[in-house]
Amino acid sequence: MTARPIMVQGTMSNVGKSILCAGLCRIFAQDGYRVRPFKSQNMALNSAVTADGRELGRAQAMQAEAAGVAADVRMNPVLLKPETDRGSQVIVRGLPRATMQATDYFAFKHELVDEVRACYDELAAESDIIVIEGAGSPAEINLRHDDFVNMGMAHMVGAPVILAGDVDPGGVFAQLYGTLLLFDKADRSMVKAMIVNKFRGDVNILMPGITQLERLCGMPVLGVVPMMHMDLDDEDSLSSRLAARGQGAGTLDVAVIRLPRLSNFTDFNELDRHPLVGVRYVREAAELGRPDLVIIPGTKSTMADLSFLRQQGLDVCIRRLAEQGTLVMGVCGGYQMLGERLYDPAGVEGGGEAAGLGLLPTTTTFADEKSLVAGSGRLSIDAGGDCCSIDGLDLIGYEIHMGATELCAGATDQGRVTTSDGRVVGHVSGNVLGTYLHGFFDAPGIVEAFVRLLMERRGLAYAPVQAEPREAYRQRQYDLLAEGLRQALDIQKVYEILEAGA
């Protein structure tokens, strides 16, 4: 039996489509259905790696977890990872296909329709319900031709659409009504109901507007979803996590550099969850201060973002902090930046070479082949130093990078990060640690070990915190999300829409 689809579209980016879809996935799974998420095309720098070493958007991996199934690249057949303002790496079925400028991609994308449909059909054959997420706004009338993400996808598979608007910035009634007015008759017929999302305050104040909106649009509002604060993975550069926060959010101050092409900032969610830690994102040298830990995160464009560090004067500040004893860490592209030199002979990042920050005795050479590996590893400190107390920690994580990093000729390191099959994916030198492993802080005991280390470096007494295990915590977040949606939405009406189809 082929699965029944239902689709959530939004009036604009960041209205909460991903979270609404995750909540519906959880509800349907709780109710005993085999459910899979799907988003035909995603544009995001936050991604995940599947068990078989392929890449998909972080939101679909999160929605799969909510549904109780393993992440599968068929859930996100096309992933665009921006490298410049006009160009992106195009990933199809989890593997890089090409790097294209926007105009070239728009001329090419019709060739992907058959692959998108094949992925959907394969998932539908294994499922009872497919929850489809739209992208951006479906009312971008300049993009309607050849669309297979929003209304084009809805028509392709006969999916009834629920349209969501974000009340938080204001103008939600204009968002919803205006979006519907820009649809042609066929597209408008696919929309069966609306949702008002992210509301704060007394819902009774909103109800006269809801009543008038339903009359104007000729369809029901399924409910008003309050602003909920579950701790779920983000993929959007508009995420509130990336707002700079002042020092004092925790005993320990962790500063993550907010690079222009920052990727996989979910790497630091577990660190931020610890009650003694405050994680903040900084873009300017004046914001950096004297943190306990500086992290240079992953990036889609290492060379360009290294130039950004220099333009902002952050390179000088980070080196000075490292010289003064502050713990400095680099993840993926950040790890590459920590080295002595970066080489790009194949033009993967535009060609040429650049000096790194000189905090690790390493060099990086970029290459066309992309490393996509999910696995485990171990942190091994071979000599005494600032990080010796975290020697021997077991790690889990995944790699997404282009390029290889090696020790400089004649250099020795104090420690390394190795995978279970013996590959070196990180180096340690004094108070500087770099690794290719995304998800470094996700393994049990890692955050606690780092907090202990940072507290000891501050000369502060430390008592272990009995934190809820990561997996139990994440599952509880999905249950809270489902409970919140069940209270806010007419779920019976959702099932009626699902049953009736388009």
Write out the catalytic residue numbers.
332, 438
Tokens 């408008």, residue?
188
Structure tokens at 67: 């549904």
**d(C-alpha 375, C-alpha 421), whole Å:** 9
Q: Give the up-direction half-sphere exposure of residue 135: CA atoms within 13 A in the CB hemisphere.
A: 22
**d(C-alpha 487, C-alpha 471), whole Å:** 25
- Beta bridge partners, 381, equal 415
Are the C-beta atoms of residues 398 and 379 closer than 8 Å to each other? Answer: no
**d(C-alpha 400, C-alpha 425), whole Å:** 11
Element housing 398 (H / E): strand 394-407
Structure tokens at 89: 């790496």
Phi, psi of 205 (to 5 degrees): -65, -30
DSSP code string of 6-73: EEEEESSTTSSHHHHHHHHHHHHHHTT--EEEE-SEEE-S-EEE-TTS-EEEHHHHHHHHHHTS---G
Query: Starting at the edge strand that comes first in sequence, how are the strands of the sheet with 191-199 ordered?
Result: 35-38, 129-133, 4-10, 161-166, 191-199, 221-226
**d(C-alpha 24, C-alpha 30), whole Å:** 10
Element housing 206 (H / E): helix 203-217
Instruction: Map residue 204 onto helix, strand or coil.
Output: helix
Are the C-beta atoms of residues 493 and 222 closer than 8 Å to each other? Answer: yes
Are the C-beta atoms of residues 281 and 269 closer than 8 Å to each other? Answer: no
| Pairing relationship of beta strands 191-199 and 221-226 according to DSSP bridges | parallel
288: left (phi over 0), alpha (psi -120 to 50) or beta: alpha
Are the C-beta atoms of residues 56 and 50 closer than 8 Å to each other? Answer: yes
Tokens 């599952």, residue?
475
Structure tokens at 205: 């104040």
- DSSP for residue 283: -
